[in-house]
């Protein structure tokens, strides 16, 4: 069903595999829409992981929000909308900026109420904490790996001994780096590097 021009409820459902059915989510969402007495548009992502920030139905839903066509986004559970707190907080901030309410039936979060806004605000706090902890663990892991001698980045290039021997002979014969670069069809900088390696 395409979005209508009037502001509507966006009922969002998602299942991770094609073997699952979104019917169990759509039933309660439709009941909620009926109680609110607002037109409702269903956005369903079938067989799409919640870890993906870009999903076909979610993208259409957000586009409708940005066109100011959506009054509220309704989900059965917040994990249907996003699997990480960081992504959830980002979505929540955008919806709030667009004047769109967010309602989760299971968590009893409704950002149209002060309590709902406070609860959702806590999600943002925990999202930042989660990001900071991940960053700390990553930096600690890199430090330990460096102490053990692990090198990061691209591995050094390995050049054939014949090439290095040729560069060495050319330099000993008095050829300039520019001339060597032309002979080897490489940059002057690469010619300098090969000369250093061949020394």
Active-site option among 16, 21, 54, 113:
16
Q: How confident is the model at residue 9 (pLDDT cuts 50, 70, 90)?
A: very high
pLDDT in tens, 51-109: 788 899 999 999 999 999 999 999 998 888 887 777 887 888 888 889 999 988 887 77
Residue 52's closest CA among 3, 23, 2, 16?
Answer: 16
> Of 2, 13, 7, 4, nearest to 105 (Cα)?
13
Q: What is the pLDDT of residue 5?
A: 47
Q: Which residue has the higher pLDDT, 125 or 133?
A: 133
**176 catalytically annotated:** no
Q: How far apart are alpha carbons 24 and 11 in whole angstroms? A: 13
């Amino acid at each position: 069903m395409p979005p209508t021009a009037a502001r509507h409820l966006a009922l969002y459902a998602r299942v991770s595999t094609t073997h699952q059915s979104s019917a169990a989510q759509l039933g309660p969402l439709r009941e909620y829409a009926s109680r609110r007495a607002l037109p409702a548009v269903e956005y369903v992502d079938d067989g799409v992981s919640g870890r993906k920030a870009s999903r076909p139905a979610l993208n259409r839903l957000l586009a409708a929000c940005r066109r100011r066509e959506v009054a509220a986004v309704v989900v059965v559970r917040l994990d249907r909308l996003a699997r990480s707190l960081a992504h959830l907080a980002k979505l929540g901030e955008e919806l709030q900026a667009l004047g769109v309410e967010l309602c989760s039936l299971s968590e009893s979060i409704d950002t149209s109420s002060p309590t709902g806004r406070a609860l959702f605000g806590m999600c943002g706090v925990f999202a930042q904490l989660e990001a900071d902890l991940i960053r700390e663990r990553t930096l600690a892991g890199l430090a330990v790996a460096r102490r053990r001698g692990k090198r990061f980045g691209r591995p050094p290039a390995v050049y054939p001994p014949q090439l290095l021997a040729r560069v060495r002979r050319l330099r000993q014969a008095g050829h300039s780096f520019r001339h060597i670069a032309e002979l080897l069809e490489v940059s002057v900088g690469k010619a300098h590097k090969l000369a250093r390696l061949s020394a």
